[in-house]
Chains A and B, each alone.
Chain A
């Protein structure tokens, strides 16, 4: 990690450790918008790592975005931070200005399509996007839409569409947005690095990093618990079966962190579709196994709302399914590998 990134990592870790308390998480789960936390995150310049400094961002890389997103997952940050990072990148890649405040992206389901149609001098947005993260709380939604046979990126203000609120297992808002010839703020043809499936792709990328961060938390928390909790007269971590389980958790966590980091690195290079698929598959698998081991280690206390473990495990169970579960991505990845053929696998792997 270079020096700047180490500093960034220290900043986000300190900020989240101080501010993302159990009380804040509980309030957020009751529907309260953690405005103070958002202000702090924005003031520290963490929301727009991929937007140029001239446009008000940090002028950084996907590698920087990884540090922020992973830490957000580690601390179960109840904000659309990952979404804002992806949304602002979509805007700035397409030459559009980035508004301040929280952003989200749509559509997040592969089968949902939004369309832009010309109306007078501008564009109108139509279609339904199911389960948009923080669809109601975000100030703006950044949409990748079809328009006259091409892909466009559009910015719609909160309230442009009809909102049906819902939530995921972690009580994070997942609101369905229905647009019916809705007015938008601005739109532009998608930038050259923004494919038609960009939301799906980079959403999966962001979730991979969040899950990798969540797994980091599980290893730390479960190891600590195992040294503190005593049964049969000694810490449960001194039993080999607990040690072996936690070693498995550590292995999956290491794999998840590596797969996610590698996908962010590929995003900095350009075409990251292969690495993102690899990451969503590998991290998603680790998330399920990891959550299971962490809970088994904690026993009954970890199964209570009282204990903080569940803030992360419930997120892992939702995040692994969002922007495509590992099964979906494995099929996509497997098809691309099969199409290139067996003899191309190794050259392909080593060329990336």
Chain B
């Protein structure tokens, strides 16, 4: 059995000055944005906001300067991320690129790819999507079937990706395709590619979520040609790259702050002098929140120290998403007000929005069951 380590650490002293700067920026940028807007959290897509973030140097914070990065610490980046999420800033237009696609290219991309994409990501000008899931490949990611066949100068791609968030808004997609098929070795033969979303042979259609919103897409590839120089990493190295990519940010603040806007509305609702039941409810949620923040920070500190806290990161995501999923239930149990869509109080609207959003928290980025399987492996059970 491996030991789970959650060592506490301190943020560097200059992190607090940065925090104040970010708060001032957010106060001006978000103004009096409605709570239900803020509740969209990292779902809000706003290219202008992302460009402003880039201008401030708050994207690509830890990357080398030669790629447009700012060579700041992972902890400073953590401060910026948690402030963005706590305020409900619309970070979606740069979130994926900053969190996953950029780091993937930094690690596995060619020099030409880095030069071409990273500075633009750092400026907040390039939005990315992730093409992983397929109609028959969800948690069983290694079973994916979309084929990339070698042709002169590149690859011809055929197949279908689903649940591709913001693919209709993104400029590029990091997609994982099958370049080699051997039924006995399904983890082999996967390869990652940079795919221009405007490519000929790609058809996108919206998948409307249960709340009526469009962020998912189905992306169909029909003889789409992807040039050789858009392959990321070696042929067949996709599985290792994908799992690395998924582990980058299992433990970030986005794994426990998704319902933070509702906790704030709950505190407003119960007022300065709440009764025992309301106070106990708030107190319990705040105890979970404060603890999760320390756990998440602890993983960030380990990452900064060059460690690979994969187990700890899975724990943070499991415990964190359980918490953010629980908040709408707890608010319902305490107040019993009707959740609403386009009427009612701020609390009712935020409740209505998050109640419909909450099921996704323990699905995206690896389901709860998959994460618990990873944790169980750490316990020596598999």
State the A residues within 8 Å of B (CB): 1, 219-220, 223-224, 226-227, 237-238, 240, 242-244, 246-248, 250-255, 257-259, 261-262, 265, 274-275, 277-279, 281-282, 285, 326-327, 329-335, 337-339, 341-343, 345-346, 349-350
CA distance A1 to B5 in the complex (A): 10
Known contacts A334-B274, A335-B279; A251 and B289 CB within 8 A of each other: no
Across-interface contacts of B300 in A (CB, < 8 A): none
CA–CA, A337 and B267, complex, Å: 8
| Supplied contacts A254-B315, A342-B264, 8 more A-B pairs, CB within 8 Å | A244-B372, A250-B379, A254-B4, A258-B6, A259-B290, A282-B287, A341-B267, A341-B268
Chain A residues whose CB sits within 8 angstroms of the CB of B375 once the complex forms:
246-247, 250-251
* B283 interfacial contact with A, CB 8 Å: yes
B86 at the interface (CB under 8 A from A): yes
A341 touching B272, Cβ below 8 Å: yes
User: Is there contact, CB below 8 Å, between A282 and B288?
Assistant: yes
| Chain B residues whose C-beta falls within 8 Å of the C-beta of A262 in the assembled complex | 8, 290-291, 294
Interface of B is mostly: helix
Known contacts being A254-B4, A254-B312, A278-B287, is A331 close to B381, with CB within 8 Å? Answer: no
Q: Are A243 and B319 in contact (CB under 8 A)?
A: no
**In the complex, what residue of chain A is closest to B23 when comparing beta carbons?**
A347
Counting CB contacts under 8 A, is B286 at the interface? yes
CB distance from A72 to the nearest CB of B (A): 19
- The binding surface of chain A is classed by DSSP as helix
Flag if A338 contacts B273 (CB, 8 Å).
Answer: yes
Instruction: Enumerate B262-317 residues with CB–CB distance to A below 8 Å.
Output: 263-265, 267-268, 270-274, 276, 278-284, 286-295, 298, 312, 315
- With both chains docked as a complex, state the minimum distance between the C-beta of B61 and any C-beta of chain A, in angstroms: 18
A247 surroundings in chain B (CB, below 8 A): 318, 371-373, 375-376, 379
Shortest beta-carbon distance, B170 to chain A, in Å?
A: 30
Does B76 reach chain A (CB closer than 8 Å)?
Answer: no
CA distance A335 to B286 in the complex (A): 11
In the bound assembly, the distance between CA atoms of A251 and B318 in angstroms comes to: 7
Q: Can you list 26 A-B contacts with CB-CB less than 8 angstroms, sorted by A residue number?
A: A219-B379, A220-B1, A226-B381, A237-B376, A238-B381, A246-B376, A246-B379, A248-B372, A251-B318, A255-B295, A258-B291, A258-B294, A259-B287, A275-B290, A278-B286, A278-B290, A327-B280, A330-B284, A333-B287, A334-B279, A334-B281, A334-B283, A335-B274, A337-B267, A341-B267, A341-B268
Contacting A237 at CB < 8 Å: which of B276, B284, B381? B381
Whether B156 sits at the interface, judged by CB under 8 Å, is no
Query: What residues on B are CB-neighbors of A257 within 8 Å?
Result: 6
B143 to chain A, nearest CB (A): 18
Cα distance A343–B21 when bound, in Å?
Answer: 18
Query: What is the total number of residues of chain B having a CB less than 8 Å from a CB of chain A?
Result: 54
Task: Tell me, in angstroms, the Cα distance from A13 to B106 when the chains sit together.
Answer: 43
Instruction: Look across to chain A and name the residue whose beta carbon is closest to the beta carbon of B274.
Output: A338
| B185 contacts the other chain (CB 8 A) | no
A257 to B312, CA, bound (A): 13
Check if B48 is an interface residue, CB within 8 A of chain A. no
For A258, give its contact among B267, B279, B298, B380 (CB under 8 Å): B298
* Beta-carbon contact of B287 and A243 below 8 Å: no
Check if B19 is an interface residue, CB within 8 A of chain A: yes
Give the residues in chain B near A227, CB-CB below 8 Å.
Answer: 380-381
Min CB distance, A326 to chain B, in Å? 7
Whether A338 touches B295, Cβ cut-off 8 Å, given contacts A251-B375, A261-B6, A333-B287, is no
Measured between alpha carbons, how far is A346 from B322 in the docked complex, in Å?
20
Cα of A262 to Cα of B8 in the assembled complex, Å: 7
Whole-angstrom CA separation of A13 from B293 in the bound complex:
29
Of B86, B283, B382, the residue contacting A331 (CB under 8 A) is B283
Given A238-B381, A334-B274, answer yes or no on A277-B287 (Cβ-Cβ < 8 Å): yes
B82 beta carbon closer than 8 Å to chain A: yes
Bound form: Cα–Cα A350–B7 in Å: 18
> Are B319 and A338 in touch, CB under 8 angstroms?
no
Counting chain A CB atoms within 10 Å of each CB, the highest count among B271, B378, B381 belongs to B381
* CB closest residue in chain B, given A329: B283
